[in-house]
């Protein structure tokens, strides 16, 4: 297992905690201060000159903050990202606080949520009253779907490539209320953003009320022309909602620049946080059109807070959400995007040169980043997955006739080479 390097000594972090006595346990404020010192150490390291194309140096130090075993290549951040050790240790301390004094510390955590809301709003280019702290993307998608007053015959546009958390929720609502869900299809990979824009424009009718799609499309890594699609929707008084499960943490996102009405995401994929925390953004101007779908309080909270009234939840994971944002910001979203984009582009460019390999993710940098989907003619995805795991100590998801490879900032160019070696072996029939 990787240890923490000297710049991030565990001794300095929670070092005064001993045993399990209440007297030895930090307060939330002390724990947050201890974590902030570690995040600042990451930020100081980030100021040193670094070539994002090198696996060592700065990126080697950052990789040591993750707990994967030496030699193991984890390429499935698109499903579940690994949590950095500093964030994991902080969350353990929050659980300790809950065990020591459940009621009072639970209240302390709940009182801190608005501070997290402010931090999330800054990350997303929104205002705090537009941010709800949810449990995951599915919950956010469900609120956006079920919270609208739609009538029989009203139409919702999704893509033909949506995750089930959006598609199946929309289909259930359609069956229940007589709505019409239209799946907008286009070639994969699309030749240009205009192909997507034309497909949506052709699908819109006078009955269209909502466009709700993923960005990027999780199964293909294809980024959508969000701003142009949102403008197209608003020109016809159509709402535009985004499933952003694969955007947050991979690339910088800004709600004002995208001009969308709603955005749902999670902490546990590309942001590399713990499962159990997520975000729902609802633009202030449309909050009176989106009902909350759960809530227990007689006096309804104002703004987007009305969407996250869930009573009891695992508050330590919510507290750790703030920490993973701090960790992410200490490295720098632009630096992370550059590294992630470089790894993905290298994989796609060289994979496309291998006979029998089809790359489903667009090569256009405006339409791709760290998620790449490939297939090999005549080779099941499960075979590719097995070869990578058994021979190359590499984990990817696999099924059907293709696999998705997630290359994030803690991954390396050497790990990309492993995937390419496996592709060449299967393509040539050697494996």
Residue with tokens 């999670």: 266
Q: How far apart are CA 354 and CA 425, in angstroms?
A: 10
CB 135 within 8 A of CB 278: yes
* Of 344, 328, 336, the residue nearest 413 (C-alpha): 344
Q: How far apart are CA 333 and CA 349, in angstroms?
A: 24
Q: How far apart are CA 263 and CA 273, in angstroms?
A: 18
Could you write out the DSSP letters of every residue in 300-363? PPSGGGGG---SS--HHHHHHHHHHHHHHHHH-HHHHHHHHHHHHHHHHHHHTTSTTEEE-S-S
What are the structure tokens assigned to 212, written together?
A: 């709700």
Please, where in the chain does CATH 3.90.1150.10 lie?
335-428
CB atoms within 10 A of CB 135: 20
What are the structure tokens assigned to 417, written together?
A: 């080479």
**What pTM does this model have?**
0.91
Which CATH number is 335-428 given? 3.90.1150.10
- Alpha-helix residue ranges (DSSP H) falling in 204-313: 226-235, 255-258
Backbone angles phi, psi at 89, to 5 degrees: -65, -40
Q: How far apart are CA 347 and CA 388, in angstroms?
A: 15
| Cα distances (angstroms) measured from residue 121 to each of 33, 37, 142, 191, 426 | 21, 22, 21, 34, 46
Q: How far apart are CA 89 and CA 93, in angstroms?
A: 6
Q: Residue 171 half-sphere exposure, CB side, CA atoms within 13 Å?
A: 10
Question: pLDDT 10s digit of each residue in the chain, 431 long?
Answer: 343 343 443 334 333 333 333 434 578 999 898 888 888 888 777 666 567 778 888 899 999 999 999 999 999 999 999 999 999 999 999 999 999 999 999 999 999 999 999 999 999 999 999 999 999 999 999 999 999 999 999 999 999 999 998 999 999 999 999 999 999 999 999 999 999 999 999 999 999 999 999 999 999 999 999 999 999 999 999 999 999 999 999 999 999 999 999 999 999 999 999 999 999 999 999 999 999 998 766 677 889 999 998 878 899 999 999 999 999 999 999 999 999 999 999 999 999 999 999 999 999 999 999 999 999 999 999 999 999 999 999 999 977 899 999 999 999 999 999 999 999 999 998 88
Range 112-326: architecture per CATH:
3-Layer(aba) Sandwich (3.40)
């Amino acid at each position: 297992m990787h240890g923490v390097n000297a710049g991030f000594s565990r001794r300095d972090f929670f070092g005064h905690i001993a045993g399990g006595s209440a007297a030895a346990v930090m307060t939330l404020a002390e724990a947050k201060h201890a974590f902030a010192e570690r995040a600042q150490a990451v930020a100081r390291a980030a100021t040193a000159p670094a070539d994002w194309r090198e696996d060592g140096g700065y990126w080697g130090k950052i990789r040591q903050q993750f707990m994967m075993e030496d030699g193991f290549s984890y390429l499935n951040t698109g499903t579940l990202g690994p949590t950095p050790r500093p964030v994991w240790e902080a969350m353990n301390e929050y659980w300790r606080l809950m065990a020591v004094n459940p009621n009072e510390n639970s209240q302390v955590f709940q009182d801190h949520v608005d501070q997290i809301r402010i931090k999330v709003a800054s990350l997303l280019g929104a205002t705090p009253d537009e941010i709800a702290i949810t449990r995951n993307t599915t919950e956010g998608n469900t609120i956006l779907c079920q919270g609208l007053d739609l009538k029989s015959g009203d139409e919702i546009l999704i893509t033909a490539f949506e995750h089930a958390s959006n598609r199946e929720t929309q289909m259930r609502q359609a069956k229940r209320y007589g709505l019409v869900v239209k799946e907008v299809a286009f070639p994969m990979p699309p030749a240009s953003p205009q192909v997507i824009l034309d497909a949506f424009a052709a699908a819109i009718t006078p009955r269209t009320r909502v466009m709700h799609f993923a960005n990027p499309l999780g199964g293909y890594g294809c980024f959508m022309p969000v701003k142009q699609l949102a403008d197209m929707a608003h020109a016809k008084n159509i709402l535009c909602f985004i499933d952003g499960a694969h955007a947050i943490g991979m690339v910088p996102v800004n709600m004002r620049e995208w001009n969308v009405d709603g955005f749902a995401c999670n902490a546990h994929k590309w942001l590399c946080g713990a499962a159990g925390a997520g975000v729902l953004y609802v633009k202030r101007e449309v909050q009176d059109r989106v009902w909350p779908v759960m809530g227990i309080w007689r006096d309804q909270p104002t703004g987007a807070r009305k969407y996250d009234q869930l009573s009891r939840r695992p508050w330590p994971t919510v507290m750790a959400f703030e920490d993973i944002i701090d960790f992410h910001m200490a490295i720098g979203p632009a630096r992370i995007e550059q590294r992630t984009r470089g790894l993905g582009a290298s994989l796609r460019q060289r994979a496309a040169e291998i006979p029998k390999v089809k790359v489903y993710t667009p090569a256009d940098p405006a339409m791709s980043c760290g998620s790449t989907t490939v297939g090999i003619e005549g080779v099941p995805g499960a075979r590719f997955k097995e070869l990578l795991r058994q021979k190359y100590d590499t984990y990817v998801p696999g099924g059907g006739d293709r696999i998705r490879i997630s290359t994030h900032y803690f991954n390396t160019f050497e790990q990309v080479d492993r995937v390419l070696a496996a592709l060449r072996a299967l393509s040539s029939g050697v494996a």
